[in-house]
Structure 1
Amino acid sequence: MKSFRENMEDFLDNGLIIDIEVGLGPAGELRYPSYVQNQGWEFPGIGEFQCYDKYLKMEFKGAAVTAGHPEWELPDNAGTYNDAPESTEFFRSNGTYQSDEGKFFLTWYSNKLLNHGDQILEEANQVFLGCKLKLAAKVAGIHWWYQTENHAAELTSGYYNLKTRDGYRPIARMLSRHHAILNFTCLEMRNYEHISKAKSGPEELVQQVLSGGWREGIPVAGENALPRYDHAAYNQILLNARPNGINKEGEPKHKMFGVTYLRLCNKLLQKRNFNIFKSFVMKMHADQGYCPNPEDYNCYVVPLNQSKEKISMEALLEATEPLEPFSWERETDTPIGGPFVDFFNRILYIFK
Structure 2
Amino acid sequence: MNASLQALKSAGVEGLMVDVWWGLVERDAPGVYNWGGYTELLEMAKRHGLKVQAVMSFHQCGGNVGDSCTIPLPKWAVEEIDKDQDLAYTDQWGRRNYEYISLGCDTLPVLKGRTPVQCYSDFMRAFRDNFKHLLGDTIVEIQVGMGPAGELRYPSYPEQNGTWRFPGIGAFQCYDKYMMSSLKAAAEAAGKPEWGSTGPTDAGEYNNWPEDTQFFRKEGGGWTSPYGEFFLTWYSQMLLDHGERILSSAKATFENIGVKISVKIAGIHWHYGTRSHAPELTAGYYNTRFRDGYLPIARMLARMVLYSISLA
TM over 0.5: yes
Amino acid at match of 1:25: G
2:278 alignment counterpart: 152
Q: Unpaired segments of 5 or more residues in structure 1? A: 186-224, 226-352
Q: Deviations over 1:227-282 (max 9, x none)?
A: xxxxxxxxxxxxxxxxxxxxxxxxxxxxxxxxxxxxxxxxxxxxxxxxxxxxxxxx
Q: Structure 1: how far apart are the matches of 2:150 and 2:125?
A: 18
Whether contact under 8 Å (2:274, 2:289) holds in the other structure is no
Q: Structure 2: how far apart are the matches of 1:129 and 1:164?
A: 37
Whether contact under 8 Å (2:135, 2:257) holds in the other structure is yes
Q: Structure 1: how far apart are the matches of 2:209 and 2:289?
A: 19
TM superposition outliers: structure 1 runs of 4+ over 6 Å: none
Q: Structure 2: how far apart are the matches of 1:55 and 1:114?
A: 17
Of the three residues 185, 200, 213, the one matched with 1:88 is 213
- Between the two proteins, the alignment pairs up a number of residues equal to 185
Of the three residues 145, 151, 159, the one matched with 1:29 is 151
Cα shift at 1:182: 4.2
Q: Deviations over 1:50-100 (max 9, x none)?
A: 001112112111111111111214211111111111111110122110100
Do structure 1's residue 98 and structure 2's residue 221 form an aligned pair?
Answer: no
Equivalent residues in 2 for 1:140-289, closer than 5 Å: 140-185=266-311
Cα shift at 1:101: 0.2
Amino acid at match of 1:153: P
Of the three residues 52, 56, 81, the one matched with 2:175 is 52
Q: Structure 1: how far apart are the matches of 2:217 and 2:299?
A: 31
Cα shift at 1:7: 2.1
Q: Deviations over 1:111-156 (max 9, x none)?
A: 0000000000001111112210111011000000111101000000
1:77 alignment counterpart: 202
Larger Rg: 1
Amino acid at match of 2:210: P
Of the three residues 239, 243, 263, the one matched with 1:113 is 239
Amino acid at match of 1:3: A
1:3 alignment counterpart: 126
Name the % identity: 54
Cα shift at 1:6: 1.8
Give the alignment's TM-score, normalised by structure 1.
0.51
Whether contact under 8 Å (2:128, 2:253) holds in the other structure is yes
Cα shift at 1:29: 0.6
1:139 alignment counterpart: 265
Larger strand proportion of the pair: 2
**Secondary structure of 1:110's aligned partner:** helix
**Secondary structure of 2:281's aligned partner:** helix
Give the alignment's TM-score, normalised by structure 2.
0.57
Of the three residues 131, 139, 144, the one matched with 1:17 is 139
Q: Structure 2: how far apart are the matches of 1:59 and 1:25?
A: 19
Cα shift at 1:181: 3.4
Whether contact under 8 Å (2:262, 2:310) holds in the other structure is no
Cα shift at 1:177: 1.5
Whether contact under 8 Å (1:134, 1:179) holds in the other structure is no
Do structure 1's residue 63 and structure 2's residue 189 form an aligned pair?
Answer: no
